[in-house]
Amino acid sequence: MNDKLQVGKKFKCGSSCTISPKNDIIIGSNFFMGNNCHLASDLIIGNNVLVGPYVGFVGGDHKIDEINLPISQSGRGEFRTTNIEDNVWIGYGSIVMHGVHIKSGSVIAAGSVVTKDVEENSIVGGNPAKFLRFRKQ
């Protein structure tokens, strides 16, 4: 259980999702998360956000540059907050790395690995995720 978790009205979560007990997570209203998602970074999520199944929010994991130490003993990196603004759709199987800022109205294509900020009303996809186009009005 995560005592740091805050959710708004109409929070819906599919089955078999995991939410890290060590992270600060704030989720707005009208949030939907599909099955088997993994929330393991500090998160601020706005309103009207859709998250497909098998999406992971991760980062701040083990340090890897101490060559004389086993990675499992190298310590943890810095946790940076991930910010997902309002009206965002994150597609099936995507991975969102910590510290990323996904701006309002954006769409993350299925299977993407988001390592950089995403501009407002844009569609990104791939590994690493790259800008594909802006949404049409």
Q: Where are the domains of the chain?
A: 5-134
Given a contact cutoff of 8 angstroms between Cβ atoms, the answer to whether 66 and 104 are in contact is no
The 10s digit of each residue's pLDDT in 48-68 is 999 999 999 998 778 888 889
Q: Which residue has the tokens 């109409």?
A: 10
Confidence (pTM): 0.92
Within the chain, strands assigned E span: 5-7, 11-13, 18-19, 25-27, 31-33, 38-39, 43-45, 50-51, 56-58, 82-84, 89-90, 95-97, 101-102, 107-108, 113-114, 122-125, 130-134
pLDDT along the chain (137 residues), means of 10: 86 94 94 96 97 94 85 85 98 97 98 98 98 93
CA distances, 41 to each of 37, 79, 132 (Å): 12, 7, 26
| Token pair listed for 123 | 């569609």
CA distance 120 to 105: 6
Location of structure tokens 């186009």:
133
Report the CATH fold assignment for 5-134.
UDP N-Acetylglucosamine Acyltransferase; domain 1 (2.160.10)
> For residue 104, what are its two tokens?
């309002």
Q: Which residue has the tokens 């949030």?
A: 31
pLDDT at 111: 98
Catalytic residue list: 62
In a 3-state reduction of DSSP, which class is residue 131? strand
